Amino acid sequence: MEPVEGRATIEDVDEFVARLGAIGDEHGCTVQAFDARYIVSRTHLERALTLADRARERGEAIARERAVEILLYAAGRRQIERALELGVGEGDQPVVVLVAAEESGNERAARDEIEPLLDAKDTLGDFDAARVREFFDIGERELAATEACLADLVRERVALLDVEK
């Protein structure tokens, strides 16, 4: 997995996503863009990718496309419409693009083509805590009841998607 971080001003979401998809297709990679304000860490994405691939290998995937399955796991949700909130939207925003090779894909080549689409900036780990807590439904009581940090609780939500199937 190769994350590409930066800021993007997106005028047309469909066009932006289509461009990323074309780059992925050209290099044998799955490419999924996220609004970085929801992504708590690199581990958040790595775990979503691992679980999505495991579900696909077992024939238990929710979505037909690998990128959408990764999005569902990153969101900890079975509903695609709700999970799409983690995706990019129109306007200026922090973005992280996950690039994951298929069997013979070239992540580095895909990453090299994606990087110019973003203004380079570290975005992983620079999440919006209030936004994350609201999306993942993590309240004060839950935070107070554990020694786990917010990022740990989000990763737990990602893992729990398997349990909820």
pLDDT of residue 7: 97
**The CATH number of the domain where 6 resides is what?**
3.30.2380.10
The number of distinct structural domains making up the chain is: 1
| C-beta separation of 5 from 36 below 8 A | yes
Given pLDDT bands bounded at 50, 70 and 90, which one contains residue 34? very high
3 state SS of 21: helix
Arithmetic mean of pLDDT over the chain? 94
Query: Phi then psi for 131, rounded to 5 degrees?
Result: -65, -45
Given pLDDT bands bounded at 50, 70 and 90, which one contains residue 74? very high
pLDDT of residue 164: 58
For the segment 137-156, the average pLDDT, to the nearest whole number, is: 91
Give me the DSSP letters along 51-101.
Answer: HHHHHHHTT--SSSSHHHHHHHHHHT-S-HHHHGGGS--SEEEEEEEEEEE
Given pLDDT bands bounded at 50, 70 and 90, which one contains residue 99? very high
pLDDT of residue 163: 56
pLDDT of residue 165: 53
| C-beta separation of 128 from 37 below 8 A | yes
pTM for the model: 0.92
Query: How far is C-alpha 29 from the chain's CA centre?
Result: 15
Given pLDDT bands bounded at 50, 70 and 90, which one contains residue 103? confident
| C-beta separation of 154 from 37 below 8 A | no
Q: Domain range holding 54?
A: 2-164
